[in-house]
Structure 1
Amino acid sequence: MTRTLYTLCGRDERRPFSPHAWKTVMALAHKGLDFEERPTAFTEIPKLENGFSKTVPILKDGDHLVRDSFDIALYLEEAYPDRPTLFGGEGGKALSRFVEGVSQTLVHPVLSRLAVKDIHDMLAEPDQMYFRKTREAFLGRKLEDFAEMREAEIVNLTERLQPIRHTLKYQAFLGGASPLFADYIVFGALQWLRLTTGPLPLPADDPVMDWFERCLDLHGAKGRTFG
């Protein structure tokens, strides 16, 4: 069966950077499923699969299409129950929803402010125009304004990662002794920052950094393929 994963890229198709697509990349690798990745520019996404989704990731598994990283993970868990679990049961699904909520409401806004100008600069011209218009309208500032806020946002990021840091005092991964989809949710967010702005702005001895490095090495160092 042929699997295709549509992800997000800028001018360089070899450097896909969507945090949500990275969740799915890691979920597929966790399940041991082969797939073809097709990085796609922002303005080309609405044309994919007859307009199936305005955002990526999109997974095409044979004739079956799934959008949204969490829905894709749920699909993979149901479609491939004989492969390693992404959730470890129904409780794990519920807890992963909580982790996603923490990531998207507390961590993503900071990462977006840190990376927004760098993302713009990675894009081809048509996408730059789209990105600037939509992001400046949403954020209420010029993209260039965020450079002045960088140091404060790094402090903010460090503070917002404290729940992750606290959890890692007791276990190697958010999923426990081994990674689960909850790990890939937070990993995808930080991988987004790494691939758009460079090395993570965290101290080398930060437990989150140690965990992130171990996540980069998972599944044949899948996370180190780019950057």
Structure 2
Amino acid sequence: MTRILYTLSGADKTRHFSPHAWKTALSLAHKGLDYQLEPVGFTQIPVIENAATKTVPLLRDGDRLIPDSFAIALHLEETYPDRPSLFGGEGGKATARFIESWTQTVLQAALIRIILMDIHDCLEPVDQAYYRASREARFGTTLEAVLDIGAAELQAFPARLEPLRAMLKKQNFIGGDSPLFADYIVFGALQWARITSPKAILVAGDSVTDWFERCLDLHDGLGRTVTAA
């Protein structure tokens, strides 16, 4: 069976960085499923698989096309029930929904302001033009102005991790003794920053940093196959 995972990259196609596609990459590895990675630029997304999606990740699993990382995780759980579970039951699915909402509204909302210009700088020129126009419309100001806001966000970011930090002092993963999809959700956001930006998002000696390092080592070091910026 052919599996293709479409993800996002800049000018260097070996450095895919979509936070949502990283969730899916680790989910596929968790299930022990092979796949082919297809990195694309922002302006290529509308034409992949005959305009099947407006965002990545997009997974082709045989003759099925599944967009959205959470939908992909549900598909993998339902299609391959004999392989390790991504959720550990219905409660795990509900918990993952909360973790996803927290990650997107708290962590990623802060991180984008910190790494916005770094992402722009790693893109192909055609994607830089698209990225600048779309993000300046979203934020209502220039990328450079957002960068100024990002300096304050970087200082405040450790405090945003406190709920996770407190929990990880008591267990190795959000999933308990071993990772679940909830771990991959938060990992994807921090991996996005690690790959695109040289800024120090995490600090040594923090339980979150230790957890992130464990996540980088998962599945034969899958997270480390792309080096830090």
1:71 counterpart = 2:71: yes
The answer as to 2:107 corresponding to 1:110 is no
Q: Which residue of 2 aligns with 1:174?
A: 174
Whether the aligned pair in 1 keeps the contact of 2:215 and 2:223 (CA below 8 Å) is yes
**Equivalent residue number for residue 226 of structure 1:** 226
Paired position in structure 2 for 1:4:
4
How large is the RMSD of aligned CA atoms in angstroms? 1.0
Q: 2:193–2:201: 8 Å Cα contact kept in structure 1? A: no
| Preserved contact between residue 5 and residue 36 of structure 2 (Cα < 8 Å) | yes
Q: Secondary structure at the match of 1:7?
A: strand
Aligned AA for 2:116?
Answer: V
Paired with 2:103 and 2:40, the residues of 1 have a C-alpha distance of: 24
Secondary structure in 2 matching 1:156:
helix
Q: Is the 8 A contact 2:114 2:151 kept in 1?
A: no
2:127 corresponding residue in structure 1: 127
CA contact (8 A) 2:27 2:86 kept: yes
Tell me the residue number matched to 1:212: 212
Q: Any residues of structure 2 matched to 1:196-207 within 5 Å, and which?
A: 196-198=196-198, 200-207=200-207
Equivalent pair of 1:190/1:200 in contact (CA under 8 Å): no
Shift of 1:198: 2.5
* Number of equivalent positions: 227
Counterpart Cα distance in 2 of 1:30 and 1:47: 29
Letter of the structure 1 residue corresponding to residue 172 of structure 2:
A
Corresponding letter in the other structure for 2:156 = N
Shift of 1:199: 5.8
Q: CA deviation at 1:159?
A: 1.1
Task: Report the TM-score when normalising by structure 2.
Answer: 0.97
Post-superposition offset of 1:141: 2.0
1:85 maps to 2:123: no
Percent of residue pairs bearing the same amino acid type: 58
Cross-structure match for 1:47: 47
What's the TM-score once normalised by structure 1's chain length? 0.97
- Give the letter aligned to residue 119 of structure 2: I
Match of 1:186 in 2: 186
Unmatched runs of 5 consecutive residues or more in structure 2: none
Query: Residue 157 of structure 1: CA displacement?
Result: 1.3
Aligned equivalent of 1:149: 149
**CA-CA distance at 1:140 after TM superposition:** 1.8
**Which ranges of 4 or more aligned residues in structure 1 deviate by more than 3 Å?**
none
8 Å CA contact 1:59–1:67 kept in 2: the answer is yes
CA distance in 2, matches of 1:164, 1:223: 20
Specify every segment of 5 or more residues in structure 1 that has no aligned partner in the other structure, as ranges.
Answer: none
